[in-house]
Structure 1
């Protein structure tokens, strides 16, 4: 790579934050470096995408310090609200925006805040020479912000090899183990999942919820309160964030994977579920309609409690259906692209921008 055009990965906060977007950033970085690319990481601390004046001033200073000609691959969680800070460097730096999903589509935002984020992100993306998104659905969402289709490219997440044990026999009298891997935020709609499962107490199931309770602590406390007592208390296990080995153990112990999100730009956890041969029940929301293969899972209208209850009842109560969907998941996993392949595709886009 030419010294005249170094690459910089701009990350909002801690690169090791356990979300799909940060996992995408981490695996890109690892694959690029393994392929011999010299990539620096620029960490911008702050409450993204709601930074205060101090975070914005620090971001402006950090961007001003980058050398002329640098190619900045900027995570959209920060880039989308940095239009004013990027504008002075729109020509001297080469900008590639990585949009996991548009900021204004986050669930639970007040209308005025959502509109402000939509406007800010549209302004910021005008400065991007290239916009990369993880799915065709997100490409459509970004185009709606005014970005020409010619400047949008889709690079789906890669998949890492996982050691998947042979399908384990279930004890005939044991519960069906459901797994949900998602941060405890309104967009993931754990509340809907709990309400739907609350109507299935006559079936034998247990829900394991893995995900950070700190991204929206008040929402997480409200969810925990729903299962602190009553009939859901012995049925729902909140694991919080798990280290990788413990997370893989949860996948291995699960009988089905559930994700009730109101929107996803891709849904990388679906790939992990497929690799572990798990039947999937997910919302038909955002890119999930494209991410979940029909032979591997059931897609349910987002927010539809009765439809969710019916889909969960089918998967919990029908072992033959679970086996058929599990076989479909294992077959679909064979066609997932690897991270080195996807990182090379992304790198080719950067090379074209730098050229």
Structure 2
């Protein structure tokens, strides 16, 4: 039995959701499950007619009874098709976080996306989410019933040793996130502007082209506060280069307004890094209290105070580091995630249970 993954754009994009999808695809294939990836063209999540037409074409050409996993970002494109195809195909939605909760959306498009997502999730046969927090949101606000819902948290790559740090008198802060309003880069710059009296440098890694307006606003704030020499706003880098960035960091910071899980935060824990972040979305369940200082989302003053505390209190930083290294041992691996995803697929197709055989 084959599995079909439908998602907008290329699978090799370097955001958390696409990295999750790619790792799950690789893990399923390693387990002998054939996965066919269908990359939809067009803009998402606000779709045009080309995107809708191509989504319809892809689903209509799948064989009767096919098992199709629809990435949540693709739901706006397949909304119309689901009314027809849910009687012919076995459909699973993979929701990283609800599209209608994206930071910066105006009320009208947010309401439209919410209604669309509710309709789509009502028409699929199973829904998989990446955190218990998102599961609770779908149960309470999106009318998904418990019998149709499963949780498969992302995995991590276990490094050989904890991060060594910068080994300098200028602590290296690391932020890994696509530059969008939801990730809070602008807030981080504002917070750090009040800490110019302390030694530090910040490296931001993540796409600066996905939302050019957000990236331009962050770059303007860096210049306006005279922090050009202290904050490096880098673009995406390849997976092979990421471990060295974590290993050379002294502190991980991510002031998100919402996270459906927080894969970069889990990766920071896997490297034993102390964390400063927010209490937004799933972050408090992803990051243990003793490994981080979590502040209210959108509160620049609280973020500044937390950063000052960690930068100036070596004892606090050491306690957070020890707790992060302890938490790293409890994180799921990508092998764990692939096994759990295969088990979710087996709910719709029993022959996909690991070790099962079919005719």
TM-score norm. by structure 1 comes to 0.95
Distance in 2 between the 1:81 and 1:106 partners? 17
Match of 2:238 in 1: 243
Q: 2:160 aligns with which of 158, 163, 178?
A: 163
Q: How does 1:36-115 map to 2 (within 5 A)?
A: 36-115=32-111
Distance in 1 between the 2:216 and 2:301 partners? 25
Is the aligned partner of 1:176 residue 2:171?
yes
Distance in 2 between the 1:166 and 1:302 partners? 27
Match of 1:150 in 2: 147
Match of 2:354 in 1: none
Distance in 2 between the 1:331 and 1:80 partners? 41
How far 1:276 moved relative to its partner?
Answer: 1.1
Match of 2:356 in 1: none
Aligned residues: 349
Q: Is the 1:80–1:125 contact (alpha carbons within 8 Å) kept by the matching residues of 2?
A: no
Distance in 1 between the 2:35 and 2:271 partners? 32
Match of 2:182 in 1: 187
How far 1:129 moved relative to its partner?
Answer: 0.9
Q: Is the 1:164–1:275 contact (alpha carbons within 8 Å) kept by the matching residues of 2?
A: no
Deviations 1:283-302 (A, max 9, x none): 10000011111121111110
Task: List gaps (5 residues or longer) in structure 1.
Answer: none
How far 1:108 moved relative to its partner?
Answer: 0.4
Match of 2:343 in 1: 348
Is the aligned partner of 1:332 residue 2:327?
yes
Match of 2:313 in 1: 318
> 4+ residue runs of structure 1 moved beyond 6 angstroms?
none
Q: 1:33 aligns with which of 29, 35, 46?
A: 29
Task: List gaps (5 residues or longer) in structure 2.
Answer: 351-359
Match of 1:10 in 2: 6
TM-score norm. by structure 2 comes to 0.94
How far 1:246 moved relative to its partner?
Answer: 2.4
SS in 2 for 1:126: helix
How far 1:90 moved relative to its partner?
Answer: 0.5
Report the more deviating stretch, 201-210 or 112-121.
201-210
